[in-house]
A and B are shown apart, each in its own frame.
Chain A
Amino acid sequence: MRIDGKGRGIDHSRVLRFSFDGQGYEGVAGDTLASALLANGVRMVARSFKYHRPRGIMTAGSEEPNALVTLGRGAAQAPNQRATVVEMHEGLEARSQNRWPSLGFDVLAVNDLMAPFIGAGFYYKTFMWPRAFWERVYEPAIRRAAGLGALSGVAAEDGHERAYAHCDLLVIGAGPAGLMAAWAAAEAGADVILAEEDLAPGGRLLAEAEEVDGIEGADWAAGLARDLAARPNVRIMTRTSVTGAYDGGTYGAFERSAPGMAARHGAPKGCFWRIVARRAVLASGALERPVAFAANDRPGVMMAGAVRAYLNRWGVAPGQSAVVFGNNDGAHRTVADLQGAGVHVAALVDARTGVECALDVPFYAGAQVTGTSGRRGLEAVMVATAKGEVRLAADCLAVSGGWNPTVHLACHMGARPVWDESLAAFLAPEGAVPGMEVAGAAAGRFSTRACLASGLEAGLRAARDLGLPVPNITAPPAQDGRYDILPLWQVPGRGRAWLDFQNDVTVKDVVQAAKENFRSVEHMKRYTTQGMAPDQGKNSNVAALAVLAAASGRTIPETGTTTFRPPYVPVPVAAMGAGARGKGFAPERLTTSHGASVVRGAPMIEAGLWYRPSYFPRAGETHWRQSCDREVAMVRQSVGVCDVSTLGKIDVQGPDAARFLDFVYTNAMSKLAEGRVRYGLMLREDGHVMDDGTCARLGAAHYLVTTTTAAAGQVMRHLDFAAQVLRSDLDARAISVTEQWAQFAVAGPNARDVLAGVLDEVPDLPFMGFGEVRIGAVAARLFRISFSGELGYEIAVPARFGAALSDLLVARAEAMGGGAYGMEALNVLRIEKGFITHAEIHGRVTAFDIGMQGVMSTKKDFVGRAAASRPGLMEEGREQLVGLKPVGEIKEILAGAHLFDEGAEAVSANDRGYVTSACYSPTLGHVIALGFLARGRARIGERVRAVDHLRGSVTICEVCAPGWVDPEGGRMRG
């Protein structure tokens, strides 16, 4: 219930309505869902993972293991949200999880009665056979019974974003240490980012009743934060959890939007940051740890520090009568705060002996809580004292087992934390993350005064490391005190004592794991599931391994810890992948003729990131083949125009350009005359074909290389490699100009006539010639090359004139009975000629395989020369490029079919090759195909079987030389 006049973090006057499991409640501005539920007396908020036990709110931060709820519905449904960090807002709708039909009456609570039978390893031992049942029966059933919240099944909206930030110093955590570090570095002039998980800076100062610099600690923090925020070199990022530390000073962070902001239409729900920092200070504080005693999971059992936070920050009393149990001075402080808020304290139970109590409270020194009772929440606490067991009525039990420095981020790069005997806790080793220093409670400095001093030191050291003048700053006066702790992990006794509340792991489970010889802490973790899932060992780790150490007769440092891995808190995958869905994942590259192609009704197909027209349907054509056949005939008989801008274009210049190209091509480009074009083949260094294309010599020291569409990026990278690494002695440079030039193929007997109507003057180019031409004021390039086997040109203009030229060429072609043609026709035209694409040069073929061994110069070194000369890459038995045509009953050949000798069984041992490309040739009136066949060139005229087991197709084929139409090439030379 709410305490009048208490709660520095809330505004009593601003009431906000919310619902939990359909029931309406009221909270106030500044509340979390957890504080509002406690204020309304709601104690049971969840069912546990495995045993479906009633659970209540245990902590006041992101480490909360119990209070996981589902928010929202449909596409906005978010499961497993920790109620302790969900900010209250008007209309908040939360539901409990892992219960059916309701939180109060949960059928699977029967699991709790079965507990003796379903301890650690139960699944592995029980659901062994029949084996096939695991996937279909056992696992789905277990998944339904155990577990957390569920997704709605509706695709989420793209509600997140990603961003980058850079700074001199990243301070992680804005408690007293973090604030001091940020202040010191900011004063020195460093660019500082101060990231704070909470919605306001202050850290523990928001939760404690204590003074800093003579004023309330929270006010001091707010004042300093205001001062820092006003500086141009400081950026305070609240609601931002730093989730991981990575190489090179890179940190991941997730920023939640404030509820008001997230509700705005189009505003992001959160942002995943990559922060690059030259230095970092980890001031992430410490997490209080529970003590394992029987039934320590009952709603009403809370961490002592959380109880203080609910009292001081949110003005909420978590109960009417409390017992406080601890092994350090924090327990005494909790009693004082409870009494100060008017809450009755039934007893202070201190596990230490010989300690004094200055408070007016029944005090049991050297005593321990041994158990709890109550139906759906805590009703009584059993305490073992020197004089025997007492039973105390209480609805709240505040527990402190001491504090674990939050060293997660310092250990993300593989460092193992080091045990500190005096703190009974693990600390990060020095230099665990390069450039990061740990300060404050995260470094085991638990008093406010020590935190301030340690943060200041860290900030000053960062300034010095950054080469900045060190400012003269002193830490303000604050409370000091010794951290006097008696290690206490478990209270012996009957009954289950929880270590990991989130995964329902008890002391018994860890002891059993040790008995079964899962003695390595990593094995124990996996066997019992302790510290898994969102918990990541925040509450349970140290206690669990202390129990394991005791059970296996080792010390805690001998036992060691499990590995800390990012993320520190759960990060929505939607945030990490923000902006990378759909077109954000695969952006579109559009040619200059794209709009015109779409207007003509062409279906656009993907070619890498490019989109190209597959065919141009005309009135009356109902099937793609009709359009394709017409376009092929058009090119063969009249003229066609095709946008070939997607082919890679690389400009190569320099006095040594010719020698450079000799090195990357198998053939000698230095012998190419100016104004001429040559077909060229590039190999990889392993002797296999990388790519093919044309190379035009534009001038003595100026070449233009074209690549296939698919390999443009790879070839560019390769040329850079060759120029910079392999032949840095040559004075030549290459740059991609693919985007700068729009290029169109004009092919067919009437090609020259089309050009005549477009160019100012058509030069009399020989086959494989190049010339500079003009279209009015625009300088263009004309190449007489052909991928169709017809008289053909490619004309290139600066990309900004591409759309206009495309329209001009197509209109002109149409006037002559031709028109635009697409990818389907382009493919048929090249197969009819036996020309290859990456269907053939797929990465495993050599120049020999495609019959181009003659294109490999023997007079010079080139990339791939030595490896290509290996006998295995030149032997006659290799699969060689051939043509195929059906000669039996069946007239289809499918690309992907495998080739077998006519009488041989179609099994892999008899495999002789495969089909790479196939099409119906309207020119020939039957299907043709290209493929690779063992000893293929020697088998022209023989018959083979093409078998496609997947599609059930068997075709008798005749092996032919690849290239059916005009094999002598008279038409394209013409």
Chain B
Amino acid sequence: MRLPCPLCGARDIREFSHMGAALARPDGGDWGPDWNDYLHNRDNPAGQTEELWYHGQGCGGWLVVTRDTVRHEVRGARLAGEGAGA
């Protein structure tokens, strides 16, 4: 498997580590259901997902990778700090 790092180009999966779904962190505040969801609850979608991957053996960039869990197809990746979703 290979991931298209926006900074480094297509790289082998071994250079990356995975952190799960790309979710928006609740805006500070006290503990509540939104925090509980953010920390503990995960969907398990069959189809398109947005996941966080860390290019630790490369540029150190955190990426949001769009992937299809059914087709094993990587649709794209962007830097996590850019654009919506994270």
Alpha-carbon separation in the docked complex, A247 to B69 (Å): 12
Alpha-carbon separation in the docked complex, A726 to B22 (Å): 11
* Residues on A with beta carbons closer than 8 Å to the beta carbon of B29: 866
A248: Cβ under 8 A from any B Cβ? yes
The one of A164, A250, A720, A869 in contact with B1, judged by C-beta atoms closer than 8 angstroms, is A250
Please give the distance in Å from A875's CB to the nearest CB on chain B.
Answer: 14
Q: Mark B37-66, 1 if CB is under 8 A from A, else 0.
A: 011000000000000101010001110000
Q: Determine the residue in chain A with the shortest Cβ distance to B60.
A: A720
Alpha-carbon separation in the docked complex, A413 to B68 (Å): 14
A246: Cβ under 8 A from any B Cβ? yes
* Residues on A with beta carbons closer than 8 Å to the beta carbon of B86: 725
Task: Name the interface residues of A851-883: CB closer than 8 Å to any CB of B.
Answer: 861, 865-867, 869-870
Please give the distance in Å from A251's CB to the nearest CB on chain B.
Answer: 12
B1 and A724 within 8 A (CB): no
Alpha-carbon separation in the docked complex, A266 to B51 (Å): 44
A717: Cβ under 8 A from any B Cβ? yes
A721 and B54 within 8 A (CB): yes
The one of A413, A686, A721, A869 in contact with B39, judged by C-beta atoms closer than 8 angstroms, is A686
Alpha-carbon separation in the docked complex, A780 to B38 (Å): 44
B74 and A728 within 8 A (CB): no
A861 and B28 within 8 A (CB): yes
A724 and B39 within 8 A (CB): no
Task: Name the interface residues of A180-225: CB closer than 8 Å to any CB of B.
Answer: none
Please give the distance in Å from A717's CB to the nearest CB on chain B.
Answer: 6
B74 and A248 within 8 A (CB): yes
A246 and B1 within 8 A (CB): yes
Q: Mark A272-305, 1 if CB is under 8 A from B, else 0.
A: 0010100000000000000000000000000000
* Residues on B with beta carbons closer than 8 Å to the beta carbon of A724: 61-62, 79-81
Alpha-carbon separation in the docked complex, A347 to B25 (Å): 79
B39 and A248 within 8 A (CB): no
Alpha-carbon separation in the docked complex, A143 to B62 (Å): 50
Asked whether A725 and B2 contact (CB < 8 A) given A685-B39, A866-B28, the answer is no
B31 and A870 within 8 A (CB): yes
Residue among A716, A721, A724 with the most chain B CB within 10 A?
A724
Alpha-carbon separation in the docked complex, A685 to B30 (Å): 13
The one of B28, B38, B62, B74 in contact with A720, judged by C-beta atoms closer than 8 angstroms, is B62
* Residues on B with beta carbons closer than 8 Å to the beta carbon of A249: 2
Please give the distance in Å from A411's CB to the nearest CB on chain B.
Answer: 14
Please give the distance in Å from B32's CB to the nearest CB on chain A.
Answer: 8
* Residues on B with beta carbons closer than 8 Å to the beta carbon of A434: 73
* Residues on A with beta carbons closer than 8 Å to the beta carbon of B76: none
A247 and B62 within 8 A (CB): no
* Residues on B with beta carbons closer than 8 Å to the beta carbon of A869: 30-31
* Residues on B with beta carbons closer than 8 Å to the beta carbon of A164: 12
* Residues on B with beta carbons closer than 8 Å to the beta carbon of A685: 25, 38-39
* Residues on A with beta carbons closer than 8 Å to the beta carbon of B79: 724
Please give the distance in Å from B22's CB to the nearest CB on chain A.
Answer: 8
A247 and B72 within 8 A (CB): yes
Task: Name the interface residues of A740-769: CB closer than 8 Å to any CB of B.
Answer: none
A725 and B30 within 8 A (CB): no
Asked whether A867 and B60 contact (CB < 8 A) given A248-B1, A725-B52, A728-B80, the answer is no
Alpha-carbon separation in the docked complex, A870 to B56 (Å): 32
* Residues on B with beta carbons closer than 8 Å to the beta carbon of A713: 56
Q: Determine the residue in chain B with the shortest Cβ distance to A860.
A: B28
A728 and B28 within 8 A (CB): no
B73 and A866 within 8 A (CB): no
Please give the distance in Å from B61's CB to the nearest CB on chain A.
Answer: 7
The one of A716, A728, A867 in contact with B35, judged by C-beta atoms closer than 8 angstroms, is A867
B31 and A247 within 8 A (CB): no
Alpha-carbon separation in the docked complex, A182 to B35 (Å): 56
The one of B26, B28, B60, B81 in contact with A725, judged by C-beta atoms closer than 8 angstroms, is B81
* Residues on A with beta carbons closer than 8 Å to the beta carbon of B28: 861, 865-866
* Residues on A with beta carbons closer than 8 Å to the beta carbon of B52: 721, 725
Interface extent on B, as a size class? 20 to 34
Alpha-carbon separation in the docked complex, A726 to B52 (Å): 12
* Residues on B with beta carbons closer than 8 Å to the beta carbon of A870: 31
Alpha-carbon separation in the docked complex, A865 to B62 (Å): 23
* Residues on A with beta carbons closer than 8 Å to the beta carbon of B56: 713, 717
B81 and A867 within 8 A (CB): no
* Residues on A with beta carbons closer than 8 Å to the beta carbon of B13: 247-248
Q: Determine the residue in chain A with the shortest Cβ distance to B27.
A: A861
Residue among A246, A725, A735, A869 with the most chain B CB within 10 A?
A725
* Residues on A with beta carbons closer than 8 Å to the beta carbon of B19: 721
The one of B1, B54, B61, B82 in contact with A247, judged by C-beta atoms closer than 8 angstroms, is B1
B73 and A276 within 8 A (CB): no
* Residues on A with beta carbons closer than 8 Å to the beta carbon of B32: 866
Alpha-carbon separation in the docked complex, A724 to B30 (Å): 23
Alpha-carbon separation in the docked complex, A869 to B61 (Å): 31
Please give the distance in Å from A168's CB to the nearest CB on chain B.
Answer: 13
Q: Determine the residue in chain B with the shortest Cβ distance to A871.
A: B31
* Residues on A with beta carbons closer than 8 Å to the beta carbon of B39: 685-686, 867
Residue among B2, B56, B62, B86 with the most chain A CB within 10 A?
B62
Task: Name the interface residues of A691-722: CB closer than 8 Å to any CB of B.
Answer: 713, 716-717, 720-721
A866 and B31 within 8 A (CB): yes
The one of A276, A720, A726 in contact with B2, judged by C-beta atoms closer than 8 angstroms, is A276
A867 and B31 within 8 A (CB): yes
* Residues on A with beta carbons closer than 8 Å to the beta carbon of B1: 246-248, 250
Alpha-carbon separation in the docked complex, A569 to B80 (Å): 41
Q: Mark A439-451, 1 if CB is under 8 A from B, else 0.
A: 0000000000000
Q: Determine the residue in chain B with the shortest Cβ distance to A413.
A: B72
Q: Mark A244-267, 1 if CB is under 8 A from B, else 0.
A: 001111100000000000000000
B30 and A250 within 8 A (CB): no
Please give the distance in Å from B3's CB to the nearest CB on chain A.
Answer: 8
Asked whether A725 and B62 contact (CB < 8 A) given A246-B1, A867-B31, the answer is yes
* Residues on B with beta carbons closer than 8 Å to the beta carbon of A248: 1-2, 10, 13, 74
* Residues on A with beta carbons closer than 8 Å to the beta carbon of B17: 717
Task: Name the interface residues of B1-28: CB closer than 8 Å to any CB of A.
Answer: 1-2, 10, 12-13, 17, 19, 25-26, 28
Q: Determine the residue in chain A with the shortest Cβ distance to B1.
A: A247
Alpha-carbon separation in the docked complex, A164 to B38 (Å): 39
* Residues on B with beta carbons closer than 8 Å to the beta carbon of A246: 1
Alpha-carbon separation in the docked complex, A726 to B25 (Å): 7
Asked whether A247 and B81 contact (CB < 8 A) given A413-B72, A685-B39, A725-B86, the answer is no
Q: Determine the residue in chain B with the shortest Cβ distance to A248.
A: B2
* Residues on A with beta carbons closer than 8 Å to the beta carbon of B82: 728
* Residues on B with beta carbons closer than 8 Å to the beta carbon of A274: 12
Alpha-carbon separation in the docked complex, A718 to B26 (Å): 17
Please give the distance in Å from B72's CB to the nearest CB on chain A.
Answer: 5
Please give the distance in Å from A726's CB to the nearest CB on chain B.
Answer: 6
Alpha-carbon separation in the docked complex, A248 to B9 (Å): 13
B2 and A250 within 8 A (CB): yes
Asked whether A866 and B2 contact (CB < 8 A) given A717-B54, A724-B80, A728-B81, the answer is no
A866 and B62 within 8 A (CB): no
Alpha-carbon separation in the docked complex, A249 to B39 (Å): 34
Residue among B17, B79, B80 with the most chain A CB within 10 A?
B80
A720 and B31 within 8 A (CB): no
Given contact pairs A720-B60, A869-B30, a sample of 19 additional A-B residue pairs in the complex whose CB atoms are under 8 Å apart: A164-B12, A247-B13, A413-B72, A685-B39, A716-B60, A717-B17, A720-B54, A720-B62, A721-B19, A721-B62, A724-B61, A724-B79, A725-B52, A728-B81, A866-B28, A866-B30, A866-B32, A866-B35, A867-B39
Chain A residues in contact with chain B, CB under 8 A? 164, 246-250, 274, 276, 413, 434, 685-686, 713, 716-717, 720-721, 724-726, 728, 735, 861, 865-867, 869-870
A-B pairs with beta carbons under 8 Å apart, 20 shown: A164-B12, A246-B1, A247-B1, A247-B72, A248-B2, A274-B12, A276-B10, A276-B12, A413-B72, A434-B73, A717-B17, A717-B54, A717-B56, A720-B62, A724-B62, A724-B79, A725-B80, A728-B81, A861-B28, A870-B31
Instruction: In the A-B complex, list the 7 residue pairs whose CB atoms are closest, starting with the nearest.
Output: A728-B81, A861-B28, A248-B2, A247-B1, A725-B80, A724-B62, A724-B81
